[in-house]
Amino acid sequence: MNPANLIIIPPSKIKLIVRSVVMGLVFTPPLIGSFTLFLAGCYLSWAASLMLGVILATSIMWTFILITTTLDLIRDVPRLEIGPHGFVLHQLACNSSRRWNDIEGDFAVRVTPLGRAVVYRLTEAFRKSQEVAEAKKVGTKELMFNTFPMSLGNLAELLNEHKRRAIGWVATGLP
């Protein structure tokens, strides 16, 4: 594989839909509880608070999920573009562009509280440059969640291979 070639990995539409449904099922009950407690604090009866909480929370949550999932499917995001100088992760609201030199070490698959993800560590120099530019604290690690048609292990290996070749080509002075 030549690192000069651009590799575009589109999202798996099935994984996007399943992720959205799971998110809705996980986050709807706490939202119902929050609405119910808020409405009960507004001097409504518990029965009325619960009924309004269920109606409001469910409609708000599932409308949000339906809109974001539809936009994800239309815009074909999250999409990963791997190139000779780094990669770009296109998401619904923003794009994350990382150069190979900004990544310290290898890409790895880890279990996080939100599920499995490809994890990579940002270099100290990159974090400091971002903190100065954005005037906010930048974390040491970033994640890519499992929304791609390939397994996370294969994705991490592809990123590692591409990074090693690109860095090796830069070190040897090859184009």
Question: pLDDT tens across 96-140, in order?
Answer: 899 999 999 999 999 988 789 999 999 999 988 888 777 677 788
Amino acid, single-letter form, for residue 129: S
Which structural domains are found in the chain, ordered by start? 13-75 (no CATH), 79-172 (2.30.29.210)
Question: pLDDT tens across 127-138, in order?
Answer: 888 887 776 777
User: Does residue 61 contact residue 91 with C-beta atoms inside 8 Å?
Assistant: no
Q: Reduced to 3 states, what is the DSSP secondary structure of residue 56?
A: helix
Q: Which two tokens stand for residue 92?
A: 């619904």
Give the C-alpha separation, 82 to 8, whole Å.
Answer: 6
Residues 6+ apart with CB under 8 A from 147: 11, 12, 15, 16, 19, 78
pLDDT at 1: 45
